C-alpha cells in the first residue's frame, strides 16, 4: 500500500544498507502518533491554503487523503514500511500514492524536525488527559477511604517505630496531599508541553509566508516556540514530564511499601482484595500483594526513563540530531506505566478492607500516648524537659511491668509526679489522644472529615 522508495533519498547514490535501514527506523514505536501527525498535517495544509501556497482544491484533496489514511490505520488496513523510516514518511508516502502529485506539496514550508517535535508535544498533551483522569480517580478513592475511616485508630510511626496514635483517615489524607502536589506539577508541566514548534522547519524557519499563529490556533496550542533552533531541538518538556512522573511514582511506591507491610501477617491491618493479589505456586496459604510490589518495581523503570532522556540531551549541540529519535520510547513507556499504575491503584484503593480492631490493638502497644502524658504535665505547669523525664520513667516502669500507660493505676502514675490527677486518663486513651489534636491539619476525626469536605469542594 505504501511505496518502498524513500521520499528523502534523492541525495544518496546507493540504497540504504538493509540492517542500517532497520536499525535507524522508528516506525515500530512512533506509529502510535499517527493521529497527531495527521492532525498536524491537516492544520499545516489549511494554513498553507490561507497564505496562498496551496489552492482550496489542493487542500481538500490533501485533507480527504489524510482522513482516509487515518481510517485505514484505525481499521488495521495500513501497511507500515520500515523503508519509510517513521510515522511521518509512511503517512506522506501513502498520501502521495492516494492523491498523486498534490500530496507532494504537503511538506512545503516544514521539515520532519519541526513535524516530529510538534507530533510529540501533541501526543503528550493528549495523554495528559487520561493521566489527569486516573489521578483524580485515585484521589477520590483516597477521600472515600479517609471519610469512612475517620475514627479508625492506628499507630503513627517514625523510624517505623510506634510514635503517636493517628486515624487511618488522617493517614489516607497524607497520601492525598502528595497527589495534590502531583496534580499541580502536571498542570504546570502542561504549560511547557503546549507550545508549538511547527514553522521552525529544519532549524532556521522557512522562506514561505507561513502564519504560525493560525496553525497554533488550529492545533490548540497556547503559545508558539519563539526560536527556530530551540523549537526543533528542545526536549525539556519531555524531561519535565518524566520528572513529574518520577515523583508521582515515588509517591505510589511509598504507598505500596506501606500496603505491603500492612497486609503482612505480622501487621494484618488491611486486606487488599483477592483481585489485586496472587497465590504461590508451591505454598497454598500465600496471598501475595503483587500489585503494590509491581508498582514499587515499576517506579525504578520510570526513574530510568527520566535519566535516559537527561543523558540523551546532555551533549547535543544545536539544533536537531538523530539522537532525538531515542526520546520517544522512554517517554511512551513512562506514559503507559503511569496510566496503568494509577488505574490499578484507584481500583485497589476502592476495594481495600481495613481491619480496625487489629490497628487499634497495635496502637495500644508501644506507649503511643506518651507524648500526651508529657503535654498533660506541661499544661499542669511542669517544664517540658522535666515532663519528658517523668514520662520516660513511667514508660520504663510500664516495660518492666508489662503495662501500657493507660493500664496503670493513678497511684502507679503519681509515683512519678504529684501533678498527675484523675483527669490524666482522658488523655491516655487512644480516642482521647487523637481527639485532642483538633486543629487544622490534625488527626482528630472532626478535622479529618472537615479536610475531606474541603478537598471535595476544591476539586
Q: What percentage of the chain has pLDDT greater than the value 90? A: 88
Question: Which residues pair with residue 156 across a beta bridge?
Answer: 164
Residue 2, pLDDT above cutoff 50: no
Nearest one of 85, 57, 87 to 70, comparing CA atoms: 87
Burial readout 184-213 (b: 16 or more C-beta within 10 A, e: otherwise): ebbeebbebbbbbbbbbbebebbeeebebe
Residues of the chain with CATH 1.20.200.10: 113-207+225-360
CA dist 133 and 111 (Å) reads 34
Is the pLDDT at 6 greater than 70? The verdict is no
> Does domain 18-108 correspond to CATH entry 1.10.275.10?
yes
Question: How many CB atoms are located within 10 Å of the residue 336 CB?
Answer: 12
Average pLDDT over residues 295-311: 98
* β-strand partners of 196: 224
What grid cell was written down for 144?
472515600
* CATH ID of 113-207+225-360, from 3.30.1490.150, 1.20.200.10, 3.30.1060.10, 3.40.50.620: 1.20.200.10
Whether residue 171 lies in the annotated active site: no
Specify whether 159 is catalytic. Answer: yes
What is the Cβ-side half-sphere exposure of residue 149, based on CA atoms within 13 angstroms? 29
Which one of 159, 281, 409, 458 is the catalytic residue?
A: 159
Once rounded to an integer, what is the mean pLDDT over residues 261-275? 95
Which stretches of 235-318 are assigned E, i.e. beta strand? 270-271
Residues of the chain with CATH 1.10.275.10: 18-108
DSSP states of 379-398: HTT--HHHHHHHHHHHHHHH
CA proximity to 142, closest of 165, 117, 116, 174: 174
DSSP code, position 161: E
Q: How far apart are CA 6 and CA 81, in angstroms?
A: 10
Q: Where are the alpha helices (DSSP H) in 318-429?
A: 328-350, 356-363, 370-379, 384-401, 410-414, 425-428
Is-contact 107 30, C-beta < 8 A?
Answer: no
Q: Where in the chain is the domain with CATH 1.10.40.30?
A: 370-428
**CB within 8 Å of 85: residues ≥ 6 apart:** 6, 8, 21, 24, 25, 26, 27
Q: Are strands 223-224 and 195-196 parallel, antiparallel or unpaired?
A: parallel
Local structure of residue 316 (DSSP, 8 states): P
Name which of 111, 65, 110 is nearest 91 in CA terms. 65
User: What is the mean predicted confidence (pLDDT) over 268-279?
Assistant: 90
Question: Which residue bears the cell 500465600?
Answer: 286
Rounded-to-integer distance, Cα 147 and Cα 449, Å: 6
**What pLDDT is attached to residue 287?**
85
4 pLDDT more than 60: no
Per-residue pLDDT of 445-459, as tens digits, reads 999 999 999 999 998
Owner of C-alpha cell 508535544:
121
Instruction: Indicate the SS3 state at residue 242.
Output: helix
**Residue that the C-alpha cell 509515683 belongs to:** 415
3-state helix, strand, coil split of the chain in percent (to 5) is 65, 5, 30
Rounded to 5°, angle at Cα 241 from 454 and 86? 140
Residue whose cell numbers read 516530529: 116
Cβ contacts of 36 within 8 Å, gap of 6 or more = 118, 119, 122, 123, 126
Q: Looking at residue 3, what is its pLDDT?
A: 46
Range name among 218-232, 256-270, 304-318, 361-375 with the lowest pLDDT average: 361-375
> Which H/E stretch holds residue 165?
strand 161-167
The answer to whether the CB of 407 falls within 8 A of the CB of 393 is no
pTM over 0.85: yes
Q: Which are the contacts of 65, defined by CB distance < 8 A and separation ≥ 6?
A: 95, 98, 99, 103
Domain 370-428 belongs to what architecture?
Orthogonal Bundle (1.10)
| Options 8, 9, 264, 280, the catalytic residue | 280
Of the listed ranges 104-113, 166-175, 182-191, 369-378, the least confidently predicted one is: 369-378
Angle between helices 328-350 and 236-262 (to 10 degrees): 30
> Quick check: bond before 319 cis, omega within 30?
yes
**Average pLDDT along the chain:** 94
CA dist 371 and 391 (Å) reads: 8
C-alpha cell at 175: 497520601
pLDDT band at residue 366 under the 50/70/90 scheme: confident
| Chain Cα centroid distance, residue 115 | 27
Amino acid at each position: 500500500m505504501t511505496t518502498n522508495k524513500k521520499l528523502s533519498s534523492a541525495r544518496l547514490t546507493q540504497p540504504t544498507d538493509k540492517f542500517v535501514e532497520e536499525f535507524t527506523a522508528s516506525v515500530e514505536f512512533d506509529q502510535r502518533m499517527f493521529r497527531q501527525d495527521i492532525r498536524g498535517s491537516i492544520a499545516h495544509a489549511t494554513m498553507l491554503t490561507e497564505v496562498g501556497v496551496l489552492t482550496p482544491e489542493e487542500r481538500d484533496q490533501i485533507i480527504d487523503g489524510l482522513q482516509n489514511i487515518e481510517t485505514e490505520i484505525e481499521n488495521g488496513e495500513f501497511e507500515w514500511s520500515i523503508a519509510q523510516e517513521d510515522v511521518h514518511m509512511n503517512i506522506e508516502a501513502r498520501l502521495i500514492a492516494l492523491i498523486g502529485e498534490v500530496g507532494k506539496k504537503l511538506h512545503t514550508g516544514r521539515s520532519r524536525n519541526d513535524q516530529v517535535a510538534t507530533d510529540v508535544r501533541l501526543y503528550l498533551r493528549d495523554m495528559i488527559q487520561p493521566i489527569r483522569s486516573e489521578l483524580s480517580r485515585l484521589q477520590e478513592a483516597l477521600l472515600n477511604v479517609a471519610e469512612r475511616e475517620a475514627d479508625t485508630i492506628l499507630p503513627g510511626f517514625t523510624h517505623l517505630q510506634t510514635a503517636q496514635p493517628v486515624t487511618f483517615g488522617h493517614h489516607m489524607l497524607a497520601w492525598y496531599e502528595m497527589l495534590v502536589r502531583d496534580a499541580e506539577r502536571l498542570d504546570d508541566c502542561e504549560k511547557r508541553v503546549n507550545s508549538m514548534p511547527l514553522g521552525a522547519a529544519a532549524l532556521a524557519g522557512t522562506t514561505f509566508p507561513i502564519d504560525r499563529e493560525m496553525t497554533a490556533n488550529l492545533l490548540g496550542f497556547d503559545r508558539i516556540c519563539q526560536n527556530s533552533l530551540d523549537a526543533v531541538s528542545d526536549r525539556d518538556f519531555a524531561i519535565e514530564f518524566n520528572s513529574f512522573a518520577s515523583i508521582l511514582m515515588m509517591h505510589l511506591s511509598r504507598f505500596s511499601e506501606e500496603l505491603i507491610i500492612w497486609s503482612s501477617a505480622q501487621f494484618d491491618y488491611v486486606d487488599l482484595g483477592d483481585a489485586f493479589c496472587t497465590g504461590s505456586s508451591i505454598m497454598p496459604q500465600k496471598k501475595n500483594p503483587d500489585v503494590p510490589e509491581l508498582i514499587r518495581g515499576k517506579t525504578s523503570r520510570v526513574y530510568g526513563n527520566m535519566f535516559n532522556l537527561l543523558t540523551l540531551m546532555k551533549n547535543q549541540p544545536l539544533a536537531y540530531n538523530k539522537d532525538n529519535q531515542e526520546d520517544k520510547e522512554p517517554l511512551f513507556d513512562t506514559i503507559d506505566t503511569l496510566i496503568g499504575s494509577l488505574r490499578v491503584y484507584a481500583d485497589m484503593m476502592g476495594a481495600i478492607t481495613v481491619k480496625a480492631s487489629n490497628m487499634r490493638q497495635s496502637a495500644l502497644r508501644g506507649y503511643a500516648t506518651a507524648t500526651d502524658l508529657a503535654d498533660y504535665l506541661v499544661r499542669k505547669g511542669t517544664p517540658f524537659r522535666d515532663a519528658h523525664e517523668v514520662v520516660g520513667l513511667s514508660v520504663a516502669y510500664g516495660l518492666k511491668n508489662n503495662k501500657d500507660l493507660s493500664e496503670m493505676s493513678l497511684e502507679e502514675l503519681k509515683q512519678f509526679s504529684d501533678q498527675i490527677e484523675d483527669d490524666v486518663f482522658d488523655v491516655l486513651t487512644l480516642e482521647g489522644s487523637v481527639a485532642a489534636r483538633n486543629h487544622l491539619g490534625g488527626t482528630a476525626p472532626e478535622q479529618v472529615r472537615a479536610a475531606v469536605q474541603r478537598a471535595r469542594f476544591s476539586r
